[in-house]
Chains A and B, each alone.
Chain A
Amino acid sequence: MSVDEFDPAIERLFARAPSFADSAQFEAGVAAKLSKTSRFRTVALSVAGLVGGVIAVREVLNVDFNFASSSVSASAGSQPVTQGLTMAGVDGGMAVQSLLDRLGVTGLDMSSMGGMQLFWATAGVLVALLAAGVVKLSQEI
């Protein structure tokens, strides 16, 4: 703004906010829209987390089954990559088993299919809890 355009009287008039009779209604409208946006975000994140968690757990369980089924062919030496993954899975299972032993839960046999499924189901629950935490965090931010 150039100096000749500056007019203190006009500046004062612009700076003065008009009063509105329906101010409370306007403020309530903003609060309602904020709540609506937050609810929508919560629902969207929850659904996405749930769907993602279910898919992740299902895929992980599928991979586990594939390990079991491919172990036969892997033993023939035809699929070295799958064999490596199988070994990694077995190592992981043994590590978890050793952790469980140290925690005093020796009755849970991780080498059996039921034990592994329980392990992955627990992992799924942890994923779901994590997703819930993210949703809660998103509400706070």
Chain B
Amino acid sequence: MAKPLRDLHDVELAALSAAGGRREFGELVRRHSPAVRGLLRRMGAQPALADDVAQDAFLLAFEKCAEFRGEGTFGAWIKRIAARLYLKRRSKDARYVAEIENDEVAPHVDSAGRMDLDEAMKGLTEPERLCVSLCHGAGLSHPEIAAAINLPLGTVKSHVKRGLDKLRARLQPEPVAHGSASHVG
């Protein structure tokens, strides 16, 4: 008897998808779409655009499923596809940059004064946000990011470092009077 889809490993599901299995691919979409959608939003995409790009990324992944050999995780593979698709779309249409720049909303903090990652990311400049999310979200190396967004390697490193410094500062809870210890995550 065939194993239920939820019991199959990503590599098995990808192999079955490569043979045309849409139900199997649907399971992969179910497992990984939140991470992909989240990554694209963290990169600065508006929700509608992020979902559009995420759907295109999954369609492309379905076409290329045979190329996924399981060297890395399926999640990392699909996130890379999505990140590159978003960068392509972004470079085609400069208005997305304008949308990102206008994306200033009041940050949401919890009762302990902590901000969640998505809120904290909004405090980064657009290049910092892109570089940090590509590095830590999509798993691209600094040289890969430099090539993808056409920036010098040193500049990418600076953006990542500055972005992370800002994130650390924002993700730390505000100092409180009684000095209680706290930690992120």
Contact = CB atoms under 8 A, between A and B. Distances in A.
Interface residues of B, number: 37
Contact of A13 (B33, B41, B117, B160): B117
A18 B41 CA distance: 10
Given A14-B137, A17-B34, A33-B59, A140 B161 contact: no
Contacts, number: 81
A140 B137 CA distance: 33
Interface string B36-80: 011001100000000100110011001000000000000000000
Contacts of B55: 26, 29-30, 33
Contacts of B133: 14
Given A18-B41, A26-B55, A37-B59, 14 more contacts: A1-B142, A9-B183, A9-B184, A11-B136, A26-B29, A26-B37, A26-B51, A27-B26, A27-B33, A29-B51, A29-B55, A30-B59, A34-B22, A34-B25
Given A7-B164, A23-B30, A34 B37 contact: no
A141 B59 CA distance: 14
21 contacts: A1-B136, A1-B142, A5-B161, A7-B164, A10-B184, A13-B171, A14-B133, A18-B34, A18-B38, A18-B41, A20-B34, A23-B33, A23-B34, A26-B29, A26-B37, A27-B29, A29-B51, A29-B55, A30-B55, A33-B55, A34-B25
B6 interface: no
Contacts of B41: 18
Interface of B: 19-20, 22, 25-26, 29-30, 33-35, 37-38, 41-42, 51, 54-55, 58-59, 62, 117-118, 133, 135-137, 141-142, 160-161, 164, 167-168, 171, 183-185
